[in-house]
Chains A and B, each alone.
Chain A
Amino acid sequence: MKETTVILAKDNLQGLLRKLGRDKSLVAPVTNQWGDTLYTEITDIDGTELDLSKQPQASLKGFFFPQQEVIQTYDTTAGYEFTPQRHIQPTLFFGVRSCDLHAVLYMDMIFSSPERDDAYFARRQDTTIITLACTTPFANCFCNATGSGPFMEYGYDLQLTDLGDRFLVEAGRQQGEQILQAWGHFFEPATEEDVQLQYQLSLEAGGRFQRKVEVEHACRILASGEVDEQIWQQLSARCADCGGCAYVCPTCTCFNIRDAQQEPSKGERIRSWDACTFSGFTRMAGGHNPINSDHALQRRFLHKLKYDVEKHGKPSCVGCGRCVDICFGHVDITTFIEAVVED
């Protein structure tokens, strides 16, 4: 039995979070008054009910890479001064699903190489992530096909598995071990049966997926050949160019940078999300656009399933299924994968 595997009684969870939330802000899934489940910053743990039964509708992307953020302010009155704006807040994320953690690991990689992005890492550096393994996958999930769930094997600080009346807690990275040491009295040693039960649950979870999306097969087809022109045309014809898929996608990190002038000599430089499905995304000053509008979705799908496989050995779709929910034209990534595999 590993020392880093312990049991946390469900009654002790609130107490533990209260202690951990003292010097960090706490973010966990909460269902708000309109029925939306979102990762929410919790100020009063005793007056808030966590909702661990639903998939949060937005990923963690916005916490590290906000939809709009001021990355610099400038002042040209006296000279030519640019002041970087860095937002550092130690945060504890609780109840994160493995797909979302996986997406954060992917973003870490994108924002760290070849040049380190300081605005991102300022937000990212002092964070602790406690994941919750998915014992029951949600309706649109296909993380088993992308290799990013439903249980994590690495990358988490702590991973919790719901064993009914208690959680099995595994420590992955250093910060997780520190929590186990510092708050040891919340935990009990885990038995061999607990670990067996977790293994059993992980096997059952793997069998409960409602969607069968053949991601690996599609990646192999894409790596070796071209996609039939007709597939692009059919899918792109139904794309409304809304950018919703890129906004909810936990691994879409395209952005735009613009300056907002506040006074003649002062202002802000703002970074905001962008989407490669927008028609002007790659259009150049002279009017030439290397992307054909019949292929509006090509950039996004190929980036996820082909270019990232070439570059990092793994598709950057984490199988969270959020784009399936958001796309009203039904041309999400699963439709594309099915079309490629059928072809």
Chain B
Amino acid sequence: MENKLEFIDLGATDQPEQARQSVHDFEYSHKAEITNVYPLTATEKLYQIQICDPDERHNFTFHPGQFVMLELPGIGEGPFSISSSPIRHGDLELCIRGVGNMTNFLNRVERGTKVGISGPFGTHFPVENMIGEDILLIAGGLGIVPLRSPILSVLENRSRYGQVDIIYGARKPSELLFGYQYEMWKQFDINLEIIVDEAEQGWQGPVGLITEILKKRIDQGRDADFRHKTSAIVCGPPIMFKFVCDQLTHANLPMEKMFVSLERRMHCGRGKCCRCNIGSTYTCLKGPVFDYWSVLNLKEAI
């Protein structure tokens, strides 16, 4: 065992503390405004948040799958996946379910509330590397939220991708998110399949598990090319990852072409507060997006 800790020389003055006066400099936080709020379901709302300064807004760039820290002075800050398209820069959309202190407070805020946005943080879904391929986007429950950004990104570059399938499962039809966009997605030549665990009145779609739909998709695509020309993006509850990724592995899809978003509780977003780590990997720094190969090497990840 190495006997020495790599130690930090404080005598060196090459790292003077920067004077961070304005909010722009301070911990990368941008002043932003909630420009619109609209309820998607009984518990989730979509917040449109605009960074106030036009230059900052334009310079704010992110990749699909990354997250931001949203801060509400006096309430706290928390990490949220971005669910808008990257071409909109600092005109963000965040979909948030009201469950805790901060999110329940958000539930009550009105248009025009000032908030802080810092970020973007984390790894992203490599949609640019998937150009020319078929894409499978698989979401369970709230997993559609981080997935909406790659969906929109793929839609905007539709000509560069082959067949695009979205498979989305939810507990009940009333919990389905972004219902108003399904027609638009379909018109962009995207196969959208939705399945629910329990039917409710008026539901005409299938009832069952997401794996049933996935099986159909795999069966029809089971030619020699399937494994070479398909990439999968998966996001949902941990139990779903396991079944969906196992099924894709059985269909011979290489593990490094399956991407999952592992969401953990995060407080600091800079790899210090020790909440989000899986083993020695901090999901706030190395994640939240991992390929399935790396996930299998992380113990207790799913």
Q: Which residues of chain A are within 8 angstroms of B204 by Cβ–Cβ distance?
A: none
Our pick among B6, B238, B267 for the contact of A257 (Cβ within 8 Å) is: B267
Our pick among A115, A124, A173, A219 for the contact of B1 (Cβ within 8 Å) is: A219
Q: Which residues of chain B are within 8 angstroms of A282 by Cβ–Cβ distance?
A: 264-265, 275-276
- Report if A82-B29 is in contact (Cβ < 8 Å); known contacts: A114-B285, A283-B265, A307-B279: yes
User: A257, B77: Cβ atoms under 8 Å?
Assistant: yes
Dominant SS among interface residues on chain A: mixed
Our pick among A79, A173, A299 for the contact of B31 (Cβ within 8 Å) is: A79
Q: Is A22 an interface residue (CB 8 A)?
A: no
Closest to B277 in A: A307
Q: Which residues of chain B are within 8 angstroms of A313 by Cβ–Cβ distance?
A: 1-2
User: A82, B23: Cβ atoms under 8 Å?
Assistant: yes
Q: Which residues of chain A are within 8 angstroms of B116 by Cβ–Cβ distance?
A: 80, 82
Q: Which residues of chain B are within 8 angstroms of A258 by Cβ–Cβ distance?
A: 76
User: B238, A109: Cβ atoms under 8 Å?
Assistant: no
Specify which of A72, A219, A259 lies most central, judged by the most chain B CB atoms within 10 Å of its CB.
A259
User: B10, A109: Cβ atoms under 8 Å?
Assistant: no
Q: What's the tally of chain B residues with a CB closer than 8 Å to chain A?
A: 53
Nearest CB in chain A: distance from B83 CB, A = 16
Within 8 A of A (CB), among B278-302: 278-280, 285, 300
- Report if A81-B265 is in contact (Cβ < 8 Å); known contacts: A105-B5, A110-B272, A303-B274: no
User: B8, A108: Cβ atoms under 8 Å?
Assistant: yes
User: B8, A112: Cβ atoms under 8 Å?
Assistant: yes
Q: Is B263 an interface residue (CB 8 A)?
A: yes
User: B5, A175: Cβ atoms under 8 Å?
Assistant: no
Q: Which residues of chain B are within 8 angstroms of A264 by Cβ–Cβ distance?
A: 74
Within 8 A of B (CB), among A82-138: 82, 84, 86, 102, 105-106, 108-112, 114-118, 121-122, 124-125, 127
User: A267, B280: Cβ atoms under 8 Å?
Assistant: no
Q: Which of the candidate stretches A182-190, A284-292, A332-340 sits at the interface with the other chain? A: A284-292
Our pick among A109, A219, A256 for the contact of B7 (Cβ within 8 Å) is: A109
- Please, what's the 1-or-0 string for B224-254, where 1 marks a CB less than 8 Å from any CB in chain A? 0000000000000110000000000000000
Q: Which residues of chain B are within 8 angstroms of A124 by Cβ–Cβ distance?
A: 10
Nearest CB in chain B: distance from A273 CB, A = 11
- Report if A105-B7 is in contact (Cβ < 8 Å); known contacts: A267-B74, A307-B279: yes
Q: Is A154 an interface residue (CB 8 A)?
A: yes
Our pick among B15, B74, B103, B263 for the contact of A116 (Cβ within 8 Å) is: B15
User: A80, B7: Cβ atoms under 8 Å?
Assistant: no
Q: Is A276 an interface residue (CB 8 A)?
A: yes
Our pick among A108, A121, A261, A276 for the contact of B274 (Cβ within 8 Å) is: A276
Q: What's the tally of chain A residues with a CB closer than 8 Å to chain B?
A: 70
Cα-based distance from A112 to B272 in the complex (angstroms): 10
Q: Is B100 an interface residue (CB 8 A)?
A: yes
Q: Which residues of chain A are within 8 angstroms of B7 by Cβ–Cβ distance?
A: 105, 108-109, 154-155
Q: Is B17 an interface residue (CB 8 A)?
A: yes
- Please, what's the 1-or-0 string for A133-167, where 1 marks a CB less than 8 Å from any CB in chain B? 00000000000000100000111000000000000
| Interface Cβ pair total, 8 Å cutoff | 149
Q: Which residues of chain A are within 8 angstroms of B63 by Cβ–Cβ distance?
A: none
- Report if A286-B272 is in contact (Cβ < 8 Å); known contacts: A108-B10, A175-B11: no
User: A259, B267: Cβ atoms under 8 Å?
Assistant: no
Q: Is A74 an interface residue (CB 8 A)?
A: yes
Q: Is B20 an interface residue (CB 8 A)?
A: yes
Within 8 A of A (CB), among B58-97: 72-77, 97
Q: Which residues of chain A are within 8 angstroms of B124 by Cβ–Cβ distance?
A: none
Cα-based distance from A274 to B272 in the complex (angstroms): 12
Cα-based distance from A257 to B238 in the complex (angstroms): 27
Q: Which residues of chain B are within 8 angstroms of A84 by Cβ–Cβ distance?
A: 20, 26
User: A76, B5: Cβ atoms under 8 Å?
Assistant: no
Cα-based distance from A252 to B232 in the complex (angstroms): 39
Q: Is B130 an interface residue (CB 8 A)?
A: no
- Report if A284-B263 is in contact (Cβ < 8 Å); known contacts: A122-B17, A124-B10: yes
Q: Which residues of chain B are within 8 angstroms of A306 by Cβ–Cβ distance?
A: 279-280
CB-defined A-B contacts under 8 Å, sample of 15: A82-B23, A82-B29, A108-B10, A114-B271, A115-B272, A117-B270, A127-B10, A155-B7, A174-B11, A254-B275, A257-B77, A276-B274, A285-B97, A290-B278, A290-B300
Nearest 3 interchain pairs by C-beta? A307-B280, A261-B74, A108-B8
What is B's interface to A at a CB cutoff of 8 Å? 1-11, 15, 17-18, 20, 23, 26-27, 29, 31, 72-77, 97, 99-100, 103, 114, 116, 142, 237-238, 263-265, 267-268, 270-280, 285, 300
What is A's interface to B at a CB cutoff of 8 Å? 72, 74, 76, 79-82, 84, 86, 102, 105-106, 108-112, 114-118, 121-122, 124-125, 127, 147, 153-155, 173-175, 216, 219, 253-259, 261, 264-265, 267, 274, 276, 281-288, 290, 299, 302-303, 306-314
